Amino acid sequence: MARIKGPRKVHRYSAEFKLKAAKLSQIEGVQVQDVADALDIHPFMLSRWRKEAREGRVTEVRGADSLVVVYGASSQAFRLDGIRVSRDLPPLAQRATAMLRERLVGKHVQIRIRGYVEGGKVPIGSVLVAGADVGVDMIAEGLVVYCPRHLVEVKLQEAQRLAKEAKRGLWSNPPSAGADPCSGAV
């Protein structure tokens, strides 16, 4: 007997879709099951997205890939995923840190947690401010390099390609052809 083919489910959802779904399910009086049914996703998936998606205010930038975010009454350190800062170029590391401070301190941000580092204590992922991914912006400016140790992200790869073509930041004097841009990372 031939197998009946029906509509296929989406197997990969965008970060924006996940954040919107999580926000919808956090509206007072709205149940997770109702949102899951409306979006045609499993409630367990939506519950996981709710844990991964957080919003808060940045109170401190500790480095080019490390910051502190306040959620309600508690604060937590957070690391940006997919980027590395070159140890060989301290002025760029300082510019990257200054850029983060300028753009994030005191601002309301959305956080997408993808995992944990430092023994499971520090979440790692992406930070969005006003809908823009800060990691993508830093790579596009040539202040940091894309390193897919925890994350393979097309947006980050594309931002780095464009920064290389425009010879911005560290790409104005690129590393030698055989050098690994992630090896001298902070």
Secondary-structure class of domain 52-172 per CATH: mainly beta
Average pLDDT, the chain: 82
Return d(Cα 111, Cα 64) in angstroms, integer. Answer: 16
Which token pair is 175? 């590393």
- CA–CA distance from 78 to each of 95, 116, 156, 185 (Å)? 19, 9, 19, 18
Residue-level pLDDT at 59: 95
Q: What is the pLDDT of residue 10?
A: 60
pLDDT of residue 11: 67
Q: How far apart are CA 10 and CA 177, in angstroms?
A: 39
Give 80-138 pLDDT, tens digit per residue: 988 888 777 788 889 999 999 999 999 999 888 888 887 778 888 889 898 888 999 99
Q: Which residue has the higher pLDDT, 9 or 6?
A: 9
Per-residue pLDDT, 186: 43
Give residue 78's region: left, alpha or beta (phi > 0; psi -120 to 50). Answer: beta
* 68 or 27, higher pLDDT: 68
Of 51, 29, 33, residue with least CA distance to 42: 33
pLDDT-above-90 percentage for the chain: 25
Residues facing 86 on adjacent strands: 185
Q: Give me the residue label for tokens 């390609």.
A: 161
Number of CB atoms found within 10 A of residue 59's CB = 13
pTM of the model: 0.68
